[in-house]
Homo-oligomer: A and B are copies of this chain.
Amino acid sequence: MPDQSIDPRTGTPFGPILPETTDAEFEAVLAAADAAFPPWSSMSRAARARAITAAADALDAASDELVPLADRESGLGLPRLTGELARTTFQLRTFAAELEAGDYLGVVIDHVNSEPLPVGHPDLRRMLVPLGPVGVFGASNFPFAFSVAGGDTASALAAGCTVVVKAHPGHPQLSDAVGRILHDALVSAGAPDGVFGLVRGFDAGKNLVTDPRIKAVGFTGSQGAGRALFDLAVSRPEPIPFYGELGSVNPVFVTRQAASRPSLASDYLDSLLLGVGQFCTNPGVIVVPRDSDLADRIAADIAERNGGPMLNQSVRDLYLRHVDELTSKPGVRVIATGAPADPNGFAAGPTLAATTASEVFADPSIVTVECFGPAGLVVTYDTDDEARALASVFPGSLVACLHADDDEELALALLPILAARTGRVVWNGWPTGVAVTKAQQHGGPFPAATTSMHTSVGATAIRRFLRPVAFQSVPLALLPEELRD
């Protein structure tokens, strides 16, 4: 099926019909990415950093073209998309700076040790080298930051890998425009022509994962699509790493002392409804003490909230289906809804459901349904023991929040339980808003990610596209520069 832009505010198609990549085009893109890998990976780190910085500059310079196009294709609004483009180019520059610094190479130098075995050893020097061409699948909910020029592409390019992106059908024209700007800026700055390529269509996506020239895949999207592509990646004759960030149900725990904080209900909804709830870090479940009025305050507030246009029809339909699935479960009831201000296009309103700890213990699947969109579930608990037991029921998540005073025994008990099943623990804050910084961890135990061992945001994301090589007794002059004394 060819791609075509659709305005989510009206449901109306617009712009050119962009055909699927043909087999011959696919072969040309992959051959170019493969041929470009040796020259790109052997360019100096400084030269690669300059090319990536040039790409960031070119994208910033095209802001007036790109942001309105992104808005028309996604409905996410100009202010958010302006910020997201700035985040995306900041991300590219962050990886360029990492490249210049070189710490990410993980250099270890062990000089000769002439003691007897097992202590003695020859001169051994180890560093990380890039894996090869990388396939990237972006997400519809971050048309800049998790798409064509997003974190996966930025970290793979910085690692020294060439990149082939499967364009997301949710923003086909933007994908084209960003891909063109990125490619041209990299090549103008000295990168080989195949450093970046773009393919389009369902079959091209599958073929990208199974092509023997592709050595790793980065993916952001749904659990269903992510698992299907993961299965392809690991069943290849040569299995490859597949970094799928699949979204998750992110719990927010509120202790008795925190529950009475005045702004907690509205702050929760600000996070839950941001971008019409279309964040993989959306705080889908909030766990609160039954004897507080917090659930009532959230319910009263949500009825006045509006929702808005969702990204596309399939996101909206899936949202409605998941809300239906969740609220059809015994023991779960809808306690409040809001309506979209404008019912046209792919609009959806917020929903708040509620249940109790004992219902969740009876059916833990209640807290496994990710309603990707503006829906929240309040779970009430009676005792601290119940809250602790609840924390152990949640599946792996990207992020878990804890609202508490720091002298509360329950807070101390919950912290390690939450940390054991999530990628990030937030204290007295909200899960949305993933800072681009070195200590960031955006990932988590399955099903939040296909592997919990890496992050897709922050400087350490580069490690996903590197492998170690050790050089034993190699003369200094023949070693890569970084391994000389």
Contact = CB atoms under 8 A, between A and B. Distances in A.
Interface in A396-429: 396, 406, 411-412, 415-416, 419-420, 422-429
B467 A42 contact: no
Contacts of A477: 406
Nearest to A442: B470
A42 B446 CA distance: 22
A226 to B, nearest CB: 11
A73 B86 CA distance: 65
A439 interface: yes
B86 A422 contact: no
B435 A121 contact: yes
Given A119-B90, A412-B478, A441 B468 contact: yes
Interface string A378-412: 00000000000000000010000000001000011
A455 interface: yes
B424 A470 contact: yes
A246 to B, nearest CB: 12
A440 interface: yes
Contacts of A230: 234, 239
A121 B122 CA distance: 44
A390 B416 CA distance: 53
A14 interface: no
Contacts of A451: 239, 241
A236 B447 CA distance: 12
Contacts of A443: 467-468
Interface in A36-53: 38, 42
Contact of A468 (B129, B437, B460): B460
A447 to B, nearest CB: 8
Residue of A113, A411, A446 with most chain B CB atoms under a 10 A cut-off: A446
A6 B125 CA distance: 41
A211 to B, nearest CB: 15
19 contacts: A42-B416, A110-B437, A121-B436, A125-B439, A126-B460, A231-B235, A238-B396, A239-B446, A423-B467, A424-B471, A424-B472, A427-B471, A428-B473, A429-B473, A441-B469, A445-B467, A453-B466, A453-B467, A460-B468
